[in-house]
């Protein structure tokens, strides 16, 4: 099963931050077993949603036309804290902010809210890697176009 845990990117400032949404619904298969009488979004998947948005932010910020795109690979999760649970009917509002960058790595801070309540935060470290796979690059381009389809001006996605 594939887990694409961002439904839509709502804000993107290259080199700074990105905001995205994930609607938690009963059609999310994982909720049927986690837990049968009290469905909650697993904390690991909340962090994964933040990592997916953080990867988008980094890739869209560092890749340049005419160069081979580098992909962000999650290498470390630090200071992850969970304050509340989320479940069916909630919309996760994920904010990823670039904390620091190096040539081969970057750190992103992430905060996840439901309404006005902070439910999670973490510091995520990524390595930026040249991946020799056109399938990987095309999958990212398709996914990023879907996430940003409502932007007034289309983004150049590499």
The closest alpha carbon to 71, from 136, 119, 11, belongs to: 136
Task: Find the length of the chain.
Answer: 158
The one catalytic residue among 17, 32, 34, 137 = 34
CA distance 106 to 142: 24
For CA atoms 155, 152, 143, 100, give the dihedral sign.
positive
Instruction: State yes or no: is 34 an active-site residue.
Output: yes
> CA-to-CA distance for 156 and 59, rounded, in angstroms?
11
Catalytic residues: 34
């Amino acid at each position: 099963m594939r887990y694409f845990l961002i439904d839509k990117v709502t804000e993107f400032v290259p080199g700074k931050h990105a905001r995205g949404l994930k609607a938690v619904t009963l059609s999310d298969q994982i909720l049927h077993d986690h837990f049968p009488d009290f469905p909650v979004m697993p904390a690991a998947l909340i962090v994964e949603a933040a990592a997916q948005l953080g990867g988008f932010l980094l890739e869209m910020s560092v890749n340049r036309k005419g160069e081979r795109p580098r992909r962000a690979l999650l290498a470390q999760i630090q200071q992850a804290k969970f304050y509340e649970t989320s479940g069916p009917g909630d919309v996760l509002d994920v904010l990823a902010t670039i904390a620091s960058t190096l040539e081969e790595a970057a750190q992103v801070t992430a905060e996840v809210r439901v309404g006005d309540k902070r439910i999670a935060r973490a510091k995520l470290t990524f390595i930026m890697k040249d991946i020799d796979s056109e399938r990987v690059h095309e999958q990212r381009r398709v996914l990023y176009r879907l996430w940003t389809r409502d932007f007034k001006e289309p983004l150049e996605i590499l």
